[in-house]
Structure 1
Amino acid sequence: MKRYFDILLVAFFLFTSTAHANFGATKVTPNLKAGRLYVGKNLTYLTFSSPLEGCNIGGYAATDWPAANGGSVDSDKTDQLISVFLFAKAQNASFEVRYRVNQSGNGGWNSCAIDNIYLN
């Protein structure tokens, strides 16, 4: 039942993500662990062990979100970001996340754009 709820939640937020975005300066949160990874409708959403300041517990991969990436998608960089995320999850490794807050976000999944993950 929880998995079904997660799928519905992902679908809802992917369909309601806004095309309007106004991103602030890059922020950094250290010592995080990988949470969940959602991929669908050409967007990738990553969650972490702790909330990100100004966001909820995760954000969209900036390279996969045109509103956060200058109107384009960079599939190669998205694949790299996902690879580092999955490696960190498999190793239970801590890492640092660099992200930007979407000032036009609605407090949901579109509140953050994840730019980079740096393994500690």
Structure 2
Amino acid sequence: MHVCKRVQLRAAALAIGASASGGVLALSVPPSPRAASAPLFTFGIIADVQWADAEDGSNYDRTVVRHYRGAFRTLQRAVDWWRALPEPPSFIAQLGDIIDGVNVRLGQSAPALEAALSELRRAPCPS
């Protein structure tokens, strides 16, 4: 499938925006007229989950609120969305921090990581 430069730039901008907001990126590129076959692969992206079983906090500069518990729900919604797709993604890229550094202070890094990875294991793609 041919993807034009404009679509690539839009995808890059969306990925940066999703990463900055700790969100999920979903991009649909319309098939070109000459693309009659199935795509070679599909993929999902989730960025900077920052999961912690903790009250809301902020980044180090105290300029952005981090909704630690809400982050896990966002991860669950992403996995649910990928599971509902008619064709499962070939892979999922998890970019950034899946758990937040506050877990170190709380002594719960290992259980927080296991909870997040367990949720990602529900995704409908090869591990």
Q: Normalised by the shorter chain, which TM-score bucket?
A: under 0.3
TM-score (norm 2): 0.25
User: Which structure: larger Rg?
Assistant: 2
Greater RCO (CA < 8 Å, at least 6 residues apart): 1
Higher helix share: 2
TM-score (norm 1): 0.26
Higher strand share: 1
